[in-house]
Chains A and B, each alone.
Chain A
């Protein structure tokens, strides 16, 4: 496992059609245990029990993640967050550029939760949930 591999995986994830590949929700080794419902609450701005991390706007993994986790299309996710932000009830998840950055963030912050393609999982992170 080397950096080059992650880079390739990340680029591939942006290009490859959305229906391919499983997405996993990850935390650091000491991260919280969260049900799919609680993950959905956090990623849709209903609660702030953990720090959700997003992939970039144009990421197919991101779009698929929201479809699989909460049954929401990208524009609906925007709509939901507009409702939260313009109600002054919170700010949307921090956005990181790729799976590598997400893994680093969850490994160092025990409250952080991220999602990556299953193929990018390594021993520095703990898999909370696999989204088919």
Chain B
């Protein structure tokens, strides 16, 4: 399906200039070329009842902010982000996907390479699952799959599929995990001319938040993870509900018994991470999208709570865009809101907003160029911040992705990205 020369030539044409970042665009391009050529050969080999399909997506991106004190990341798993120097690793990524099918059975795998908690280029098996198409409307799956919580949780890495350059962090950064190891069913139930999709999942997974101020990461183990998604597609409308509960075990990785924080006191392991341990976490999510071919709008609200722990926060965004032929200007308002009297508030997590304007330009049927400018509060979205002042209590240090020097200040960012599918 989506493959061909445009991947290679376009990717090469949009090669970002070499900057000071650690990301090596040339290395990735070689990787893309070799794999794409290999996939084309495999694609031609399909015959008979047994079929194979290969496809992929990628983004070459550059981003820069107005601040040297904090770094903008795309997901909380990234160990470093963009500051006042151009960064090429925040948005750049490559996904390769293959499906082998025989009658009603199929196996699908996706390999995703992007900047993560400890590396700029680390390929990870995002999905690998077996699917049984029981009927035209029912699929049953087992393996590592998408964890379908958000409106776009499943396809958000494929930048070409979205109008915006980057999924709004106020909602999408609340959860560092994107997959689940377990079982899942997808039922597509026709209701008149509309389609109601019900997608329950059960399993376990793990993820990590980068705590790069401390040179470590927070390891999150999700067990007994149960979720259900309802998508109701009525003409140009999509109404989305997502709900999940999971056991959550939090551990700090690779840290000695005491952590010495520069310019601050020495804390014990337990005092720095009081929220380490076991809890039950709940997510609830509601979203609406509208797309009539010309006008596009999307809104999504998510609420995350932990019990015990009292940790509670919520985020939402509103997005609107209009297609003028190949050019689509868009606007996104994002809002992040920790509960007022919970530990999140004690820890200094504060309410924050963001305003984003951008333009998507469809270069070809399979690629798009995007430019985006945003102005945001520096809350809970940045890593590699300045260490907190010694006057702050240990619980505040437990959320080191917070820059106390920047509180009350706005940060501007400009991003350029080239998205393609093949």
| Residue ranges of A at the interface with B (Cβ–Cβ < 8 Å) | 35, 37-38, 41, 46-49, 57, 70-76, 78-89, 91-92
CB pair A82 B154 closer than 8 Å: no
Chain A residues closer than 8 Å to B421, beta-carbon distance: 78, 82, 86
A88-B364 contact given A41-B193, A78-B160, CB 8 Å threshold: no
Tell me the B335-390 residues at the A interface (CB within 8 Å). 362, 364-366, 368
Q: Could you list 7 A-B pairs, sorted by A, with CB under 8 Å?
A: A37-B194, A41-B193, A57-B365, A76-B293, A86-B155, A88-B146, A89-B186
How many contacts between A and B, using CB within 8 angstroms? 97
Task: List 9 extra interface pairs beyond A37-B194, A41-B193, CB under 8 A.
Answer: A38-B190, A41-B233, A46-B195, A71-B294, A79-B160, A82-B2, A85-B55, A85-B97, A86-B95
CB pair A75 B365 closer than 8 Å: yes
Chain A residues closer than 8 Å to B95, beta-carbon distance: 86
A89-B137 contact given A75-B365, A78-B421, CB 8 Å threshold: no
**Pick the contact of A83 from B136, B155, B193 — CB < 8 Å?**
B155
Complex Cα gap A46–B193 (Å): 11
CB pair B365 A88 closer than 8 Å: no
A49-B190 contact given A41-B195, A82-B158, A82-B421, CB 8 Å threshold: yes
* B391: Cβ under 8 A from any A Cβ: no
Complex Cα gap A75–B327 (Å): 11
CB pair A49 B366 closer than 8 Å: no
Complex Cα gap A37–B108 (Å): 29
Chain A residues closer than 8 Å to B99, beta-carbon distance: 91
Nearest residue (CB) in B for A49 is B136
CB pair A88 B145 closer than 8 Å: yes
**Pick the contact of B161 from A37, A47, A86 — CB < 8 Å?**
A86
- Tell me the smallest distance from the CB of B327 to a CB of chain A, in Å: 11
Complex Cα gap A43–B363 (Å): 23
* B9: Cβ under 8 A from any A Cβ: no
- Tell me the smallest distance from the CB of B141 to a CB of chain A, in Å: 8
CB pair A88 B108 closer than 8 Å: yes
* B235: Cβ under 8 A from any A Cβ: yes
**Pick the contact of A82 from B137, B155, B294, B326 — CB < 8 Å?**
B155
CB pair A71 B326 closer than 8 Å: no
**Pick the contact of A79 from B127, B161, B193, B292 — CB < 8 Å?**
B161
**Pick the contact of B293 from A73, A87, A88 — CB < 8 Å?**
A73
CB pair A71 B292 closer than 8 Å: yes
CB pair B1 A47 closer than 8 Å: no
Chain B residues closer than 8 Å to A87, beta-carbon distance: 146, 148, 154-155
- The interface on chain B, measured as residues whose beta carbon lies within 8 A of the other chain's beta carbons, has a size of 45
The 4 closest A-B pairs by CB, nearest first: A87-B154, A37-B193, A71-B293, A86-B158
Chain A residues closer than 8 Å to B161, beta-carbon distance: 79-80, 82-83, 86
| Residue ranges of B at the interface with A (Cβ–Cβ < 8 Å) | 1-2, 53, 55, 57, 95, 97, 99, 108, 110, 127, 129, 131, 136-137, 145-146, 148, 152, 154-155, 157-158, 160-162, 186, 188, 190, 193-195, 233, 235, 292-294, 323, 326, 362, 364-366, 368, 421
Nearest residue (CB) in A for B145 is A88
CB pair A74 B158 closer than 8 Å: no
Nearest residue (CB) in A for B238 is A46
A78-B365 contact given A85-B97, A86-B155, CB 8 Å threshold: yes
A46-B137 contact given A87-B154, A92-B1, CB 8 Å threshold: no
Complex Cα gap A83–B158 (Å): 7
- Tell me the smallest distance from the CB of B158 to a CB of chain A, in Å: 4
Nearest residue (CB) in B for A88 is B108
Most buried by A among B158, B233, B365: B365
Nearest residue (CB) in B for A48 is B136
CB pair A78 B366 closer than 8 Å: yes
Complex Cα gap A70–B161 (Å): 17
Complex Cα gap A82–B366 (Å): 9
- Tell me the smallest distance from the CB of B348 to a CB of chain A, in Å: 36
- Tell me the smallest distance from the CB of A45 to a CB of chain B, in Å: 10
Complex Cα gap A125–B6 (Å): 36
**Pick the contact of B2 from A35, A83, A85, A88 — CB < 8 Å?**
A85
Nearest residue (CB) in B for A93 is B1
Chain B residues closer than 8 Å to A75, beta-carbon distance: 326, 362, 364-366, 368
Most buried by B among A57, A83, A84: A83
- Tell me the smallest distance from the CB of B370 to a CB of chain A, in Å: 12
- Tell me the smallest distance from the CB of A73 to a CB of chain B, in Å: 7
- Tell me the smallest distance from the CB of A79 to a CB of chain B, in Å: 5
Nearest residue (CB) in B for A75 is B362
Complex Cα gap A86–B53 (Å): 12
- Tell me the smallest distance from the CB of A131 to a CB of chain B, in Å: 15
- Tell me the smallest distance from the CB of A103 to a CB of chain B, in Å: 22
- Tell me the smallest distance from the CB of A119 to a CB of chain B, in Å: 26
Chain A residues closer than 8 Å to B57, beta-carbon distance: 82, 86
